[in-house]
Structure 1
Amino acid sequence: MPQMAPMSWILLFLFFSFMLLMINMLNYYLFNPSFKISKESKNMVIKNNNWKW
Protein backbone atom coordinates (compact mmCIF):
# COMPACT_ATOMS: atom_id res chain seq x y z
CA MET A 1 0.00 0.00 0.00
CA PRO A 2 1.64 3.29 -1.06
CA GLN A 3 2.08 6.11 1.38
CA MET A 4 0.01 9.25 1.02
CA ALA A 5 1.78 12.30 -0.28
CA PRO A 6 2.31 15.13 2.25
CA MET A 7 0.08 17.38 0.16
CA SER A 8 -2.82 15.00 0.65
CA TRP A 9 -2.34 15.13 4.43
CA ILE A 10 -2.39 18.92 4.34
CA LEU A 11 -5.53 18.96 2.19
CA LEU A 12 -7.24 16.48 4.51
CA PHE A 13 -6.27 18.55 7.54
CA LEU A 14 -7.56 21.75 5.93
CA PHE A 15 -10.77 20.07 4.81
CA PHE A 16 -11.60 18.65 8.26
CA SER A 17 -10.58 21.89 9.99
CA PHE A 18 -12.86 23.84 7.66
CA MET A 19 -15.71 21.40 8.27
CA LEU A 20 -15.24 21.66 12.04
CA LEU A 21 -15.35 25.46 11.88
CA MET A 22 -18.41 25.46 9.64
CA ILE A 23 -20.33 23.03 11.84
CA ASN A 24 -19.49 25.02 14.97
CA MET A 25 -20.50 28.31 13.37
CA LEU A 26 -23.77 26.88 12.08
CA ASN A 27 -24.51 25.39 15.47
CA TYR A 28 -23.82 28.73 17.15
CA TYR A 29 -25.90 30.89 14.83
CA LEU A 30 -28.80 28.49 14.22
CA PHE A 31 -29.37 27.56 17.86
CA ASN A 32 -32.18 29.67 19.29
CA PRO A 33 -32.36 29.33 23.07
CA SER A 34 -35.69 30.00 24.71
CA PHE A 35 -35.38 31.61 28.10
CA LYS A 36 -38.50 31.52 30.23
CA ILE A 37 -38.55 34.59 32.44
CA SER A 38 -41.35 34.82 34.91
CA LYS A 39 -42.11 36.90 37.96
CA GLU A 40 -41.78 33.82 40.14
CA SER A 41 -38.11 33.41 39.29
CA LYS A 42 -37.34 36.94 40.50
CA ASN A 43 -38.64 36.15 43.98
CA MET A 44 -36.60 33.03 44.54
CA VAL A 45 -35.86 32.03 48.08
CA ILE A 46 -32.23 31.16 48.60
CA LYS A 47 -31.80 28.27 50.98
CA ASN A 48 -28.67 28.58 53.04
CA ASN A 49 -27.20 25.25 54.10
CA ASN A 50 -24.76 25.30 56.97
CA TRP A 51 -22.83 22.05 57.02
CA LYS A 52 -21.52 20.96 60.38
CA TRP A 53 -18.89 18.25 60.19
Structure 2
Amino acid sequence: MPQMAPLLWLYLYMFFLIGFVIFLMVNYFIKPFETIDSNIISKSPSNHLDWKL
Protein backbone atom coordinates (compact mmCIF):
# COMPACT_ATOMS: atom_id res chain seq x y z
CA MET A 1 0.00 0.00 0.00
CA PRO A 2 1.56 3.33 -1.00
CA GLN A 3 0.06 5.09 2.01
CA MET A 4 2.37 3.17 4.32
CA ALA A 5 5.63 4.30 2.65
CA PRO A 6 6.02 7.49 4.73
CA LEU A 7 5.59 5.47 7.91
CA LEU A 8 8.25 3.01 6.76
CA TRP A 9 10.73 5.83 6.23
CA LEU A 10 9.79 7.35 9.57
CA TYR A 11 10.45 4.04 11.33
CA LEU A 12 13.76 3.61 9.53
CA TYR A 13 14.78 7.17 10.43
CA MET A 14 13.89 6.67 14.10
CA PHE A 15 15.76 3.34 14.15
CA PHE A 16 18.81 5.06 12.67
CA LEU A 17 18.67 7.91 15.18
CA ILE A 18 18.29 5.60 18.18
CA GLY A 19 21.12 3.37 16.93
CA PHE A 20 23.36 6.37 16.29
CA VAL A 21 22.72 7.81 19.76
CA ILE A 22 23.47 4.44 21.38
CA PHE A 23 26.65 4.16 19.30
CA LEU A 24 27.82 7.62 20.42
CA MET A 25 27.02 6.90 24.07
CA VAL A 26 28.92 3.60 24.00
CA ASN A 27 31.94 5.25 22.39
CA TYR A 28 31.85 8.10 24.90
CA PHE A 29 31.63 5.97 28.04
CA ILE A 30 33.96 3.10 27.06
CA LYS A 31 37.55 3.91 27.94
CA PRO A 32 40.10 3.42 25.16
CA PHE A 33 42.93 0.96 25.64
CA GLU A 34 45.88 2.27 27.62
CA THR A 35 48.90 2.99 25.46
CA ILE A 36 52.19 1.31 26.30
CA ASP A 37 54.81 3.72 27.59
CA SER A 38 57.86 3.68 25.32
CA ASN A 39 60.21 4.38 28.25
CA ILE A 40 59.29 1.07 29.86
CA ILE A 41 60.00 -0.78 26.63
CA SER A 42 63.41 0.82 26.14
CA LYS A 43 64.48 0.07 29.75
CA SER A 44 63.55 -3.60 29.60
CA PRO A 45 66.41 -5.94 28.70
CA SER A 46 66.14 -7.28 25.21
CA ASN A 47 66.98 -10.85 24.23
CA HIS A 48 67.82 -10.07 20.62
CA LEU A 49 70.98 -8.52 19.25
CA ASP A 50 70.72 -5.40 17.14
CA TRP A 51 72.19 -5.60 13.64
CA LYS A 52 75.29 -3.53 13.16
CA LEU A 53 76.97 -2.77 9.85
TM-score w.r.t. structure 1 length?
Answer: 0.55
Question: Number of residues paired by the alignment?
Answer: 43
Q: Which residue of 2 aligns with 1:23?
A: 22
TM-align CA RMSD: 2.7
Moved over 4 A (4+): none
SS in 2 for 1:35: coil
Q: CA deviation at 1:24?
A: 1.1
Q: Which residue of 2 aligns with 1:51?
A: none
- Percent identity of paired positions between Structure 1 and Structure 2: 14
Higher helix share: 2
Gaps of 5+ in 2: 49-53
After superposition, residues 30-49 of structure 1 pair within 5 angstroms as 30-35=29-34, 37-38=36-37, 39-41=39-41, 43=42
Q: Distance in 2 between matches of 1:11 and 1:26?
A: 23
Q: Distance in 2 between matches of 1:21 and 1:33?
A: 19
